[in-house]
Chain A
Amino acid sequence: MSNARKLSMKNRYSALTRDLDWTPTYVDPKAVFPFTSFEGIKIHDWSKWEDPFRLTVDSYYKYQAEKDKRLYAVLDGFAQSQGHLSLTDARYLNAMKLFIQGVTPLEYAAHRHFAFLSRYYDGPGPRFAAQCQSVDELRHTQTEVHTLSNYNKYYGGMHNWPEQFDRVWYLSVPKSYFEDAMSAGPFEFLIAISFSFEYLLTNLLFVPFMSGASFNGDLPTMTFGFSAQSDESRHMTLGLEAIKFLLEQDEANVPIVQAWIDKWFWRGYRLVALIAQMLDYMLPRKVMSWKESFELYFEEQMLGGLFPDLEFYGITKPRHVEQAIGEKDLLSHQVYWALYQFSFAAGFTTTVPEDDHLDWLSANYPDTFDKYFRPLWDKAKKVQDEGGRVFFRGLPQLCQVCQIPMLFTEPGDPMRLAQRQVVHNGERYDFCSDGCQWIFEREPEKYVQAWLPVHQIYQGNCGGPSVPEVLAWYGLQDGDAGEYAGSVDQQNWERWHDHAGKADVEAPVEAEVRA
């Protein structure tokens, strides 16, 4: 490299990214960057911000373009070859329905907020990192929509996700989570999304999930997932650099950051409860259990690897983390059991796991599944065998903070629902856990405003008082919700595969599916 005429990565980064900054002289810097002091965070030297990727605009777009080229080549091949017929089973797509309804809108929200941050941080390092992430998140939104539109042509549940994100009860969980972060200050947002979500928890979401796509014949999802995830490693780095930067800038930042870690670990952990059930219940062919994933990606890598590193700064493990660990044998089962009972009002279907699936759950959860959960499924199956279907006859009580139905149990007692109640300004508020109660009590003014779907339905704000009116307001169509067995998707799937090997195989036609 000694006689190379081009600049080294370090010098390019210095010249093309950091050097484009200037100090305002005729406007007060506080007026240019008005949002970086009210949270109490003290920054003395923005130039100390590190970006290990040393990204410049030209190299950023060069590699992003290459990622997109690879992805779209796969998407074309998939569409041209009727790739959807190669899935393990149509029920697999319930995971993807939940994904486009609940995750894709978060990508878009992240795009918006990182665009905001790329204007409002004082330092050029974090501004440019935020700008790249903003563009990344828009790319993720678009590639996810393009990928899943291939399935939307033939299967239910994916046709109205942007509106559903704003309306449907279980989607208020990711929506309120992200809006909580967006309505916080620019530093809390970094700890919330870049550190607690991207670095601490995102591996739990994407890595086993995309591996699951690979294992279930979902080539395009695997490809967009890995493509997005390659950006994600940069986002994780932003999260880790952010926390180190804040902690190194001023000792007074440490307790503020610790409180944010405590809050956002629990917020994020509750959010990924929706992922837990996907891994254990929605993938026909399993990659790893939720418990295994939690132990590997969270306990081993984060608690065992990262937190000893952060101890150097006086940061301790997140508050309530022991309760999360205590739930790892229960979480996915409790969540899917609730989704099973509430899927009459969902944009996906559920069903009783088949026998070999139940056996897999027993084997992977030897301490809890046969004792607490298998009997529930046996009973639900009996009802289903007799021509019935267990659905929850009413609406659930919701947690004021995470907005998940009150389905979690007392630490150490899987037979007893956890109920926490706090009276604030004369009004009762309900919580699913000590973690959510603690978060409320830190900032009650924030969470009293929660748009709780069940309460909104009862106030008459969701299309009408009856369930059919609410479902119409959600934009659900025939076949989107309810039981998988006998659903439109299942019937089509059988029809498209029934005649395999015969000459009269019926070709899937888009129009006939959702007439």
Chain B
Amino acid sequence: MSVKAIGSYDFPSRSRQELYGDDQLVHVWWRNNPFMSAAGTFRAPKAMPWSDFRAALLDPWAGTDPDFDPAAPGSWTLDGQPITPTDDQTLEQLGVGHKSLISFAA
């Protein structure tokens, strides 16, 4: 189905990747921890190494929960598929795309 309209109806996405330059949006989700009221979104460079992503963005975010232990996260997934990220891999190398969802359990 598509929109019924009085004229042609074709508009670009208001959040397409090109609007973020060399960066992209990345969603983060701490599975099975209802203390985190929602999943989060960050803007991160595609070339950001995993260790930086953890230290600068994901870990401080997970610290919303006072019991968060940075050594605890595991069972990582990317868009539903299991991954085992290493510190020096960039987000791009990990296969993280614009609006990808990274999740973990802890």
Cβ contacts under 8 Å, A416 to chain B: 31-32
Task: Report the bound CA distance from A56 to B76 in whole Å.
Answer: 66
User: What 6 new A-B contacts, CB under 8 Å, besides A342-B37, A429-B99, A458-B43?
Assistant: A340-B37, A398-B41, A407-B37, A427-B17, A442-B1, A458-B20
Q: Which residue on chain B has the smallest CB distance to residue A38?
A: B6
Is the Cβ of B37 less than 8 Å from the Cβ of A397?
no
- Indicate if A32 sits at the interface (CB-CB under 8 A): no
Is the Cβ of A443 less than 8 Å from the Cβ of B32?
no
A35 is contacted by which of B6, B37, B42, B99 (Cβ under 8 Å)? B6
Task: Name 21 A/B residue pairs within 8 A (Cβ), A-sorted.
Answer: A338-B37, A338-B38, A341-B37, A392-B36, A394-B40, A394-B61, A396-B39, A397-B28, A405-B37, A405-B38, A428-B98, A428-B99, A442-B1, A444-B2, A445-B3, A445-B10, A448-B13, A449-B12, A451-B14, A452-B14, A459-B20
A35-B6, A445-B3 are contacts. A427–B16 as well, Cβ < 8 Å? yes
- Indicate if A334 sits at the interface (CB-CB under 8 A): yes
Task: Report the bound CA distance from A334 to B4 in whole Å.
Answer: 35
Is the Cβ of B35 less than 8 Å from the Cβ of A407?
no
Cβ contacts under 8 Å, B28 to chain A: 394, 397
A427-B17, A452-B15, A459-B19 are contacts. A396–B40 as well, Cβ < 8 Å? yes
Task: Report the bound CA distance from A393 to B9 in whole Å.
Answer: 38
**Which residue, A390, A394, A407, has most C-beta atoms of chain B within 10 A?**
A394
Is the Cβ of A421 less than 8 Å from the Cβ of B79?
yes
For chain A, the bracket of interface size reads: 35 or more
Cβ contacts under 8 Å, A383 to chain B: 66
Q: Which residue on chain A has the smallest CB distance to residue B27?
A: A397
Interface residues of B (CB under 8 A from A): 1-6, 9-17, 19-20, 25, 27-29, 31-32, 34-43, 57, 60-61, 63-64, 66, 79, 97-101
Cβ contacts under 8 Å, A442 to chain B: 1
Is the Cβ of B1 less than 8 Å from the Cβ of A397?
no
- Indicate if A137 sits at the interface (CB-CB under 8 A): no
Cβ contacts under 8 Å, A444 to chain B: 2
Is the Cβ of A443 less than 8 Å from the Cβ of B39?
no
Q: How far is the CB of A431 from chain B (nearest CB, A)?
A: 12
Q: How far is the CB of B14 from chain A (nearest CB, A)?
A: 5
Is the Cβ of A394 less than 8 Å from the Cβ of B42?
yes
Task: Report the bound CA distance from A416 to B31 in whole Å.
Answer: 7
A 437-454 to B, binary, CB cutoff 8 A, 1 in contact else 0? 000011111101111101
Task: Report the bound CA distance from A448 to B19 in whole Å.
Answer: 14
A419-B29, A419-B39 are contacts. A428–B97 as well, Cβ < 8 Å? yes
Cβ contacts under 8 Å, B66 to chain A: 379, 383, 388, 390
Is the Cβ of A391 less than 8 Å from the Cβ of B14?
no
Cβ contacts under 8 Å, B100 to chain A: 428
Q: Which residue on chain A has the smallest CB distance to residue B39?
A: A397
Cβ contacts under 8 Å, A398 to chain B: 41
Cβ contacts under 8 Å, B29 to chain A: 397, 406, 417, 419
Q: Which residue on chain A has the smallest CB distance to residue B79?
A: A421
Q: How far is the CB of A513 from chain B (nearest CB, A)?
A: 31
Is the Cβ of A443 less than 8 Å from the Cβ of B1?
yes
Is the Cβ of A406 less than 8 Å from the Cβ of B43?
no
Task: Report the bound CA distance from A455 to B24 in whole Å.
Answer: 10
Is the Cβ of B13 less than 8 Å from the Cβ of A449?
yes
Q: Which residue on chain A has the smallest CB distance to residue B26?
A: A397
